[in-house]
Amino acid sequence: MNGARLRAVGQAMQVADFSVPLERLAGTLPFQGLLKPPALPGVLTDGMRKIQSPFLVGFGDSYLSQLSVCFVVPNKEGVVNMASIRKRGENSYLLVVSRGYDYQGNRLKPAQKTVHPPLGLTAKQTQKWLNEQTVLYEQEVKHTPAQPVDRSITLAKYIEVWLEQVAPKKLAASTLSRDRQDIRRILPALGHYKLTELNKEILRDFYDAMRQERNENTGHLLAEGTVEGIHSCLCGILSDAVEAGYITYNPAWRTYKKKGISKERPVADEETVLRLIAALETQSLKYEVYYKLILATGMRRGEACGLRWSDIDWRQRALHIRRNVVKLSRQPIMVKEPKTRAGVRVVYLSKDMCKLLRAWEKECQWEKEQRGDDELTQDDYLFQQPNGDPMVPCTFTYRFKMILRENGLPDNLNVHSLRHTNASMLIAQGVDVRTVAGLLGHAQPSTTLDIYSHAFDKNKRLAGQKLSKAMGL
In terms of Cβ atoms closer than 10 Å to its own Cβ (0-12, 13-18, 19+), residue 184 is exposed
Tens digit of pLDDT for each residue in 144-158? 544 566 778 999 999
Share of the chain above pLDDT 90, in %: 42
- Helix (H), strand (E) at residue 328: none
Share of the chain above pLDDT 70, in %: 77
Tens digit of pLDDT for each residue in 421-437? 999 889 888 888 899 98
Cβ atoms 191, 155 nearer than 8 A: yes
pLDDT confidence of residue 385: 94
Closest CA to 438 of 338, 363, 289, 368: 338
DSSP state of 42: T
Amino acid at 290: Y
- Work out the mean pLDDT of the chain and round it to a whole number: 79
Q: The dihedral of CA 59, 60, 64, 66: what is its sign?
A: negative
Whole-structure pTM value? 0.64
Number of continuous H segments (helices) and E segments (strands) in the chain? 18, 13
Tens digit of pLDDT for each residue in 307-356? 999 999 999 999 999 999 988 877 889 898 887 788 899 999 999 999 99
Buried b (16+ CB within 10 A) or exposed e, 374-398: eebeeebbbbbeeeeebbbbebbee
Tens digit of pLDDT for each residue in 36-61? 333 333 333 333 333 333 344 433 33
